[in-house]
Structure 1
Amino acid sequence: MNAIYTFIEAEKTTYGVAFLCRLPKVARSSFYAWLAAAKARAARKAADQDLVHEITVIHVASRHIYGVPRIHAELRRLGRAVNRKRVARLMRTLPAAA
């Protein structure tokens, strides 16, 4: 759906939003809800990038030994309230240490 909404966002200066939403059979309200949430998505992505940096620092400091449980515990010890599953998801996106 993101691709459809991105296309509508790009083409809305040329064509009307109502017309562009009718083509792929998307509700206009859904498009506007997606558009309103764009700021929140950007903030969440920035927060994830900050957390990835912290995870990387902890992982390198542990000589690439710490896994998700220990990194999660270290983040909690540092006062960072973060879910273990979020740490696991972000660690999966990191390149594997060689």
Structure 2
Amino acid sequence: MILRQPEVTDSKKQGPKEIVDINVKIRGFHTNSGTSNTIMCLFSESDDTYAGPWKVSTTSEVLNKEANIDLLSVFAIEFQFERCQYIKLDM
């Protein structure tokens, strides 16, 4: 995880914010499950609870199913350290 300063500051939100770049490494992925030869990763955020509601922030490109996948800096989110923010990754 890499932290960097946000490019745009929203004056309505309180507290310092950082941009968090997220790298995803998938190891030992079962390529024979499902009928598709491709996958896509969806990155979602929730400000409420781990049960949601979830808002999809971004998605990866369509990827070929492989046992090992590296997605470097695939997602970037604005993170505020003073409050709880939930994130999840769906494939």
Same fold (TM over 0.5): no
Instruction: Tell me: higher relative CO, structure 1 or 2? Use CA pairs within 8 A at least 6 residues apart.
Output: 2
Q: Greater Rg, structure 1 or structure 2?
A: 1
Q: TM-score range by the shorter chain?
A: under 0.3
Q: What TM-score, normalized by structure 1, do the two folds share?
A: 0.21
More strand by share: 2
More helix by share: 1
Q: What TM-score, normalized by structure 2, do the two folds share?
A: 0.21
